[in-house]
Amino acid sequence: MQYTLPLTEEDLSALKAGDGVLLSGTILTARDCAHKRIFALLDEGKALPFDLQNAYIYYAGPCPAPKGKACGSCGPTTAARMNSFAPRLLKLGLGGMIGKGEMSEEVRAAVAETGRIYFAAIGGAGALYGNCIQKSECIAFPDLLSEAVYKLEVKDFPVVVAIDSQGNSIY
């Protein structure tokens, strides 16, 4: 099944935990350090350097792009490290997350409450995911290098619905 981001309400109610999906559209990378920065800005009441509304965060830190490619290898990182961050971002309007592995009960509950979604990408498939990226641009925290926020345009990016909008989990 192919879907384009951002997902519509109809898409969200159709997608069930365990479904295999090919995603196309815009996603933003953010992992440990970027989340700490985002939370520091939120706590200080400052504006974020990008719009969180209906954005999709990909828990990932890419390899540098070799010549002729938009991005280097770029598979998902362990989502559970972002357990403490995801619920607040979902409640602020985040569209969903892409990562690998189970997330906490709090995250599952927040996904259900907000009717959003968590997709699992296949960990360790960095080269394959890198090839699904057509455009990459660093849009925040460039000093964090691979941990900065990159805006990625992806095409046919293979994922599995890990927590659906009703809160059903594959794990």
Interacting residue ranges for other proteins, rule: CB under 8 A: 18, 20, 32-33, 60-66, 72-75, 77-78, 80, 100-102, 120, 122-128, 130-131, 144-147, 158, 160, 170-171
Nearer to other proteins among residue 33 and residue 42 (C-beta):
33
Catalytic residue among 35, 37, 108, 116: 35
Query: What CA–CA distance (Å, rounded) separates 21 from 160?
Result: 6
User: To the nearest whole angstrom, how small is the minimum distance from the Cβ of residue 129 to other proteins?
Assistant: 8
Nearer to other proteins among residue 63 and residue 109 (C-beta):
63
User: To the nearest whole angstrom, how small is the minimum distance from the Cβ of residue 78 to other proteins?
Assistant: 5
Among 154, 39, 159, which Cα is nearest to 94's? Answer: 39
User: To the nearest whole angstrom, how small is the minimum distance from the Cβ of residue 9 to other proteins?
Assistant: 25
In this structure, what DSSP letter does residue 72 have? Answer: -
User: To the nearest whole angstrom, how small is the minimum distance from the Cβ of residue 51 to other proteins?
Assistant: 25
83 close to 107: Cβ distance less than 8 angstroms:
yes
The answer for residues whose C-beta is within 8 angstroms of residue 167's C-beta and 6 or more apart is: 108, 109, 111, 112, 113
Q: How far is CA 35 from the centre of its chain?
A: 12
| 3-state secondary structure (DSSP) of residue 86 | helix
Nearer to other proteins among residue 62 and residue 95 (C-beta):
62
Q: How many CB atoms within 10 Å of residue 124?
A: 11
Is 53 catalytic? The answer is no
Beta strand 96-99 pairing with 56-58: parallel
Nearer to other proteins among residue 51 and residue 104 (C-beta):
104
The residues assigned a catalytic role are 35
